[in-house]
A = this chain, B = another copy of it.
Amino acid sequence: MDKGARVKNLQRRLLESDIDAALLIHSRDVYYYAGTAQPCILVVTPSDYFLIVRRALDFVLNETWLENSKIIGNGSFKEARGRLNAIGINHERLGLEMDIVPTELFLKITGIFGGFQPVDVSGAIMAQRMQKDPGEVDLVRTACRIMKAGHDRVLEVLSEGLTELDLAAEVEFAHRKAGHEGILSFRNFDFYISRGPLSSGENLFKVSGFTNTITGTGLSPAVPAGPSGRKIKWGDLVVVDIPTCYHGYHCDETRTYVLGPANPPVADLFEALREISDTVIASLRDGVTCGEIFDAAYAHAQKLGVAEYFLGLPPRKANFVGHGIGLDANEPPVLFQDSSFILRSNFVLTVEIHLTHSQHGAVKLEDVVLVKENGAEILSVTPRDLFSI
């Protein structure tokens, strides 16, 4: 798919949603449609578009794939209003990214666009962004290769007495040297997970509040997720779930390590986990619903006798087995229990499952996969094993 077709695709969606003009300002959306993450206002109507650049016009002109005639330098929201005015759009439905634009800015924009009726356009954008084109899939593949550098580093350095922080620092360094962009994107105004979850030993039972998975406890209550100062001990399970980003596209992948030989019950627990994950991946295809995927996972957990441990212990059991991923580390759709949302070809998803045994601890496996017409391809390149050090 030609990147220039992305705006056209959005124009079709605006038409379907009776949106007369959309103002896109969040850098992830602007980057998706225009190829630049500089401060801009991308104005799209069903039949036209223009990119109003707020700063760094020199960067924008180097980066964007939009036509030069559509680029307006040193602009503002008033400029956008004036230009819409000039093409006869004055008081219609105005699409804004209402899931992420803060209230104060929203009030400022709607003040300038008095007479317009603001409506959310993020749903339409995210629906489009779910379906990746081959170029996007290639960037996710590279993010997956960067991820492997981190897991390889764990195999080199994990040893007794290392703290969770020491281990995370090594993983993060390996990611960065391999080209990690230095930042993760979450379409959330308040999401603090350190550089990413890492947890070991008894910390595996401590689930911080941002999500019902293996979170780690962090270095302080200010950022209560990610690695802590806990020293890793002989026999510990260690779960490493630190995402990567390449050219804006993420990989989110988890591997479980054990320092020393795995006890048979732990090895069995991981074998069950991998079987459930395999079942999920084998169930993915164009046309299946998120809820069906969740049910397949749960049914297999029951069959293997591990339903009790499936997705954690009460009251913090998760109710999803994966999520979309792309320009954000967490994107729709989420593979929620009971969701009737239908998966389509070219969705890129994580398959993310953990089993928590109240005695033996937790094992987790997460991979990035590409949904195809009749199946799914695993994009992760790290072996899907329980690594015994």
Cβ of A131 under 8 Å from chain B? no
Are B101 and A224 in touch, CB under 8 angstroms? Answer: no
Which residues of chain B have C-beta atoms less than 8 A from A107's C-beta? 98
Are B181 and A222 in touch, CB under 8 angstroms? Answer: yes
Chain B's closest residue to A221 (CB) is: B63
Cβ of A319 under 8 Å from chain B? no
Chain B's closest residue to A212 (CB) is: B55
Are A190 and B220 in touch, CB under 8 angstroms? Answer: no
Q: How far, in Å, is A368 (CB) from chain B's closest CB?
A: 18
Are A223 and B189 in touch, CB under 8 angstroms? Answer: no
Are B189 and A102 in touch, CB under 8 angstroms? Answer: yes
- Give the distance in Å from the alpha carbon of A194 to the alpha carbon of B176 in the complex: 11
A185 CB contact (under 8 Å) in B55, B183, B192: B192
Which residues of chain B have C-beta atoms less than 8 A from A36's C-beta? 221, 224
Cβ of A179 under 8 Å from chain B? yes
Interface residues of A in 26-53 (CB under 8 A from B): 26-27, 31, 35-39
- Give the distance in Å from the alpha carbon of A196 to the alpha carbon of B96 in the complex: 29
Are A209 and B39 in touch, CB under 8 angstroms? Answer: yes
Give the interface SS of chain A, mostly helix, strand, loop or mixed: loop
Number of copies: 2
Cβ of A233 under 8 Å from chain B? no
Are B193 and A183 in touch, CB under 8 angstroms? Answer: yes
A220 CB contact (under 8 Å) in B105, B189, B247: B247
Given contacts A173-B169, A173-B173, contact A99 B98 (CB under 8 A): no
Cβ of A56 under 8 Å from chain B? yes
Are A209 and B54 in touch, CB under 8 angstroms? Answer: yes
Q: How far, in Å, is A220 (CB) from chain B's closest CB?
A: 4
Cβ of A351 under 8 Å from chain B? no
Which residues of chain B have C-beta atoms less than 8 A from A100's C-beta? 102, 189-190
Are B223 and A182 in touch, CB under 8 angstroms? Answer: yes
Chain B's closest residue to A110 (CB) is: B103
Are B176 and A223 in touch, CB under 8 angstroms? Answer: no
Which residues of chain B have C-beta atoms less than 8 A from A192's C-beta? 27, 37, 183, 185
Are B210 and A39 in touch, CB under 8 angstroms? Answer: yes
Q: How far, in Å, is A149 (CB) from chain B's closest CB?
A: 11
Are B165 and A169 in touch, CB under 8 angstroms? Answer: no
Given contacts A59-B209, A98-B104, contact A219 B247 (CB under 8 A): yes
Most chain B beta carbons < 10 A, residue from A166, A169, A209, A246: A209
Interface residues of A in 180-231 (CB under 8 A from B): 181-183, 185, 189-190, 192-196, 206-210, 218-224, 226-227
Q: How far, in Å, is A128 (CB) from chain B's closest CB?
A: 18
Cβ of A70 under 8 Å from chain B? no
Chain B's closest residue to A182 (CB) is: B194
Which residues of chain B have C-beta atoms less than 8 A from A103's C-beta? 96, 98-99, 101-103, 106
Which residues of chain B have C-beta atoms less than 8 A from A35's C-beta? 221
Cβ of A333 under 8 Å from chain B? no
Can you give 30 contacting A-B residue pairs, CB < 8 Å?
A26-B189, A36-B221, A38-B208, A39-B209, A54-B209, A55-B210, A58-B206, A59-B208, A59-B209, A59-B224, A98-B102, A98-B103, A98-B107, A99-B102, A99-B103, A103-B103, A169-B173, A169-B176, A172-B172, A176-B195, A181-B218, A181-B220, A181-B222, A183-B192, A183-B194, A183-B195, A185-B192, A222-B245, A222-B327, A223-B248
